[in-house]
Structure 1
Amino acid sequence: MKVVIQRAKDASVRVAGETIGKIDNGLVVLLGVTHDDTIDDVNYIVNKIVNLRIFEDENNKMNLSLKDVKGSILSISQFTLYADTRKGRRPSFVQAAPPNIADELYRTFNELLANENIHVETGQFGAMMDVSFTNVGPVTIIVDSKDNK
């Protein structure tokens, strides 16, 4: 499981011209799921996201976590994180999990974040989405659950 975490002061997601998710201070999280991901990968990523110290304290040092700042998450499923661009000019997505598996783990991911008392807004799995946000810093971090093994 891979995530791209981007610190944001505002973010929203639109589907078919309608805003379906919106946050203020927090994180935009793009989540990609691969074939062998399990609940252990979800737990690792959730724990990492809610406790990662990437928000500034009173001394402008990145010492505070999402929990510390009472931030929210805009969670977006993003199968293209598993693009393979090694051959040719068209990316291959064979490493991305099938939609039924990816959707189940995406839903579990969002539920576990909510269980951590994090306000979560989501995109729509499988839909064409327009995601807008203001990246603060900018701070963008990539986390791969396979790095834990």
Structure 2
Amino acid sequence: MPSNFEEQLALCYEDLDYTPAVLKKLPLFFEQASFFIKENNISVQCYLHVGDIVLINSDEEECIAIIRAIFCHKKGERYLTFIIIDSFKNINQTKLVCPVYRLATNNLRKIFPVSIVKSVNAIHFIHNCKDGECIEGNYNLENDLYIKNLYFFKAV
């Protein structure tokens, strides 16, 4: 959890045009959540899990992130859902003609309303394991390099 959790949560409430929340109750954390997004004027239900790769609605370039936590917070009589993310940053390198990204764990802002999610698991990454570094699915998390899999597709 970010060290400035309350400050970042207040920014989220401002994004949603709510008055900033006072953290009277602890947030409730979940492993998964479902929500609706609009695609071509049709509401589509999405399922979000901790560890999912998501595209984020951003004014700038395409923003790709990994979900680190999902939580809800009660404001008045409403529960609002938020996510904690780490962003991927393109480091302008390639491996097997695929771009290499660095997981930016020190982003200034990590907490956002779930409504910023544009799509879930539309992009796939492979951990850039080095010789002997990752054994049988146990990844060295100090290695923060990932390869964007350009060859992944969904069979219809």
TM range (shorter): under 0.3
Higher RCO, Cα 8 Å, sep 6+: 1
Higher strand share: 2
> Structure 2 length as normaliser, TM-score?
0.21
Higher helix share: 1
